[in-house]
A = this chain, B = another copy of it.
């Protein structure tokens, strides 16, 4: 039998593949429970604990991103590339924003403090999305 595929040092068991794969198709920045439900459609016996453990493993390996919003549980995405999150204060919808200039903040912080190796680990923006801003009926 061929050995399990490996990515970033983690052995991709069948359940890990399904979790990674499923998350890859979701564009809603789901929380663990939502990932669990989506994954269950493809693999009805997978346990919640495995989904939690797997998300942690994949996060440690850098294969998925885990982040917190101001309230609510942790959320996940498998979107490649540096990006930040913009949440609608009215409906809660979360979208990705690419902001290359955010790296600039890290450099500025290094100048102001004595910290080294500074990374911009999370930027959370809030605003009002087009749907919520539009008068409801037109």
Contacts and interface: CB of A to CB of B under 8 A. Distances in A.
A84 B114 CA distance: 15
B121 A126 contact: yes
Contacts of A124: 120-124
Number of copies of this protein chain within its complex = 2
A123 B122 contact: yes
Interface string A111-131: 011111111111111111110
A130 B104 contact: no
A127 B68 CA distance: 18
A127 B122 contact: no
Interface of A: 66-70, 84, 86, 88-89, 95, 97-99, 101-102, 104-106, 108-110, 112-130, 133
